[in-house]
């Protein structure tokens, strides 16, 4: 059994069928939220009972932990994403899990609104995060892959202070720069305007702009006191 259900606030459930939960990419999850879904549920086969030698349900579990960390960085409640493992004969259990998750989604409220993030800011954050998926996949392979393939091993690894701190260090600046680049694609802006639009600290914006300037991503227009894309 494998699939993704995307729950809207009025409890409509849409199902996407895939051959293996391991094919539920980070991009799938972020795209669902970018399209306005309030929560995402991933269902996969029981761990260690995979029909494929790849045991892709562990990849789905890893992507869930990483996606939850991304949501937290964006300012969204990570409980909006959940994963459960069960067999194809667990229909009653699946129904119970879906009903419980639907009620939880109702309690969380509409995406972004409940977290105090306006629609435009949330769109920028999600679009910026989606652009970082290739980078995150590379980082996951090199630095964020759990050493032991057990459910408890994954939980201990991805919730450890060390891994959470590493993820934040690797992702926070990349996310901010990605948001800024997307914003500057609309036209030149000052540090204050970028800070106000993206709700970022002005000193942090200045630091990101200096770094981006050194990388040749942006240039400072001294005539108009604005940053623009290089």
pLDDT, tens digit, 9 for 90 and up, residues 133-192: 999 989 888 899 999 999 999 999 999 999 999 999 889 889 989 989 988 998 999 999
Class (C level, CATH) for 172-229: mainly alpha
pLDDT band at 226 (very low <50, low <70, confident <90, very high): very high
Statement: residue 130 has pLDDT above 50: yes
For residues 13-33, average pLDDT: 77
Dmax (CA) for the chain in angstroms is: 68
Question: What pLDDT, on the 0 to 100 scale, is given for residue 17?
Answer: 53
Give the residue from 158, 128, 155, 159 showing the smallest Cα distance to 145: 158
Q: Which two tokens stand for residue 34?
A: 């970018």
pTM for the model stands at 0.85
Name the pLDDT band for 9 (thresholds 50, 70, 90).
very low
Dump pLDDT digits (tens) for 189-200.
999 999 988 878
Mean pLDDT for 95-103 is 90
- Segments making up each domain of the chain, as ranges: 3-118+130-168, 172-229
Asked if pLDDT for residue 13 goes beyond 60, the answer is no
Q: Give yes or no for residue 56 having a pLDDT over 90.
A: no
CB 129 within 8 A of CB 178: yes
CB atoms within 10 A of CB 2: 22
Closest CA to 121 of 76, 165, 63, 59: 76
Nearest to 18 by CA among 7, 6, 30: 6
Q: Both tokens of residue 14?
A: 């849409």
pLDDT of residue 173: 86
């Amino acid at each position: 059994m494998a699939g993704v259900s995307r729950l809207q606030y009025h409890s409509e459930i849409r199902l996407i069928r895939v051959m293996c939960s391991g094919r539920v990419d980070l991009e799938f999850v972020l795209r669902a939220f970018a399209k306005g879904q309030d929560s995402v549920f991933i269902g996969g086969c029981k761990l260690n009972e995979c029909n494929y030698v790849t045991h892709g349900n562990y990849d789905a579990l890893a992507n869930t932990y990483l996606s939850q960390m991304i949501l937290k960085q964006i300012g969204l409640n990570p409980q909006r994403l959940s994963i459960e493992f069960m067999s194809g004969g667990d229909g009653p259990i699946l129904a119970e899990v879906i009903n419980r998750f639907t009620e939880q989604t109702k309690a969380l409220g509409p995406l972004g609104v409940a977290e105090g993030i306006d629609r435009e800011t949330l769109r920028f954050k999600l679009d910026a995060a989606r652009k970082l998926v290739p980078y995150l996949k590379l980082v996951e392979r090199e630095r964020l892959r759990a050493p032991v393939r057990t459910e408890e091993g994954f939980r201990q690894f991805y919730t450890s202070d060390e891994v959470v701190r590493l993820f934040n260090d690797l992702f926070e600046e990349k996310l901010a720069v990605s948001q800024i680049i997307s914003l500057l694609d609309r036209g030149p802006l000052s540090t204050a305007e970028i800070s106000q639009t993206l709700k970022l600290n002005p000193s942090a914006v200045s630091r990101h702009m200096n770094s981006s300037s050194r990388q040749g991503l942006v240039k400072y227009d001294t005539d108009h006191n604005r940053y623009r894309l290089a």
